[in-house]
Structure 1
């Protein structure tokens, strides 16, 4: 998939919007503050099928006991497996693989970590996803990470993805990712899928930076491969009515052009979703006895009816 299949807006704007959103505020996990490949590999292996909040304490305890890859390689494997079991991380074979991979780094690679995804796959128990994650977060040398959350984001956001039996997730993900910025980009798009674009989307609550380009936000269809049933409220006119009421509750009277962006991120006064569209929404609310619309000087304003 070429960049032509991406949003018609400037691709640089799509990219910068996501990165700026992530850098302004994101969940703090300790492995996001390190570029040590050993620490990142431990976090990635622990995070497989385990909630991230549960991983934090286990990750810190693991590194306290085996601070370096050399320490882990020299450890008794049974102790590593026992730790894994005590922490209720599940799938004890992951502990065995992690111990074996540490031995490979020390014995086969002389303590030097491979940096590319295809090279990292030589480590025991390290598949394409984990290899790419370590390459991205430790060395800034990975491809675009594609997990379930990222697939959901791409499927919802871009119309070309949901056509065909095998959506080209990796192709689109790599076309989106700025060259040489896999560390921040992969963290950002995974955060988007985890915080704003979950199975139940939180587009406005989480301030999704892609709302103005997103097909799902525009149409209200938030289905995805792992979300077979469309939420009935998200994207609906009922939702927009709720946004109007919430915005008017903050002030006594709000001019239409100030109210519009609070209801739709793509509001444009003279556009398809502009003043006329907003007047129609307000008329519905007025008919229900909830809102008054009136002239105030040179402006039309809306207020909650007392």
Structure 2
């Protein structure tokens, strides 16, 4: 359910940029997400350290690389070169060889990481820079990586805005699909002095509860009461324009219908459609006619009841 009227807080309009509306109860929004994250989250070794070197290694490895490949490579890399000084003293060919053997892609990342370690050793007297601006002085470290290291190592970063965060902001608060709007919203939401836990929490939300296929109920999303997508059933997002290909069979969608109706006494047919696939449009290829075919199958099996009334078509599970 989305807030309305004076329940919104608007940011970004005074300087001529596109206005972004967020819930007025920002402290409740912040605390609910942090509480959700701290109660239970995925455990990764890079979340258990505040060592800027280890965090930089993780961030560089994670660029366009699946986390299931990053974890073993990250642990092996730190076992081989446990400090920035150790990496700086290493032969670059060994570092590149490690990168290639672990299928981390783009070997120039290994070269840049090695050179960054040398910079820390030679130009910064072995001490990592602490701010995003200073961290960008390191070879191969752009704004995103610099901010991530500042956030997770020193709790001194700005809001991290990656694909997961954009998806969350777009769905939850209707943030327009523009980098400027996402930056505005993310910065407004960030609680002062808590970039470490906040950035971890909002990325976790996008990775666990608000993925391309949302798991709002299963993961207990803490933003359901404010979320536009949850209220409307429209879970499209900038990186989710159509239904993921692996969710294509009629059997899968019949299962989704039953699982969805278990949570509700009754749903209008279009609300049901939006909740079972992100590209549902009433008059489209995957619209009411397509959905009615699935419901007919389930009705024949004695699982659902479809009611045509003055208030439209409504669907429920049979008792």
Same-fold call, TM cutoff 0.5: yes
Query: Is 1:41 equivalent to 2:41 in the alignment?
Result: no
- 2:264 and 2:21 mapped to 1: Cα distance? 32
Please, which runs of 5 or more residues in structure 2 have no aligned partner? Answer: 1-9, 13-18, 249-254, 266-298, 305-316
Please give the per-residue CA displacement for 1:67-88, whole angstroms capped at 9, x wherever unaligned: 1100000000000000111111
Q: 1:245: Cα distance to partner? A: 2.8
Q: How much has 1:242 moved relative to structure 2?
A: 3.8
Q: How many Å separate the matches in 2 of 1:183 and 1:63?
A: 22
CA 1:95 to 1:35, structure 2 compared with 1: closer, same or farther past 3 Å? same
Distance 1:32 1:210, change over 3 A: same
TM-score normalised by L of structure 2: 0.73
| Residue aligning to 1:11 | 26
Find the partner of 1:245 among 262, 275, 282.
262
Q: Could you list the per-position Cα deviations for residues 37-91 of structure 1 after superposition, in whole angstroms to 9, with x for gaps in the alignment?
A: 0000000000011111211110110000101100000000000000111111110
- Maintained 8 Å contact 2:22/2:185: no
Residue 15 and residue 59 in structure 1: after superposition, are their counterparts in 2 closer, same or farther (change >3 A)? same
- 1:228-267 pair list within 5 angstroms: 228-229=241-242, 242-245=259-262
Distance 1:239 1:90 in 2: 37
Question: How many residues are matched?
Answer: 254
8 Å contact kept, 1:136–1:183? yes
* Aligned residue number for residue 67 of structure 1: 82
Following the alignment from structure 1 to structure 2, what is the Cα–Cα distance between the partners of residues 223 and 246? 21
Match of 2:104 among 62, 76, 89: 89
Q: Residue 209 of structure 1: CA displacement?
A: 0.8
1:104 corresponds to: 119
C-alpha separation in 1, matches of 2:243 and 2:234: 6
Cα-to-partner distance string for 1:210-268 (whole Å, 9 max, x where unaligned)? 111011111111111111126899xxxx97874453689xxxxxxxxxxxxxxxxxxxx
Residue matched to 2:237: 224
Contact preservation (8 Å) 1:245, 1:304: no
SS at match of 2:54: helix
Please, which runs of 5 or more residues in structure 1 have no aligned partner? 249-287, 292-302
1:143 aligns to 2:158 (yes or no): yes
Look up the match of 1:2: 11
Q: Which residue of 1 aligns with 2:5?
A: none
Change (3 A) 1:66 1:56: same
TM (norm. structure 1) is: 0.76
Of 214, 236, 245, the residue aligned with 1:201 is 214
RMSD of aligned alpha carbons: 2.9
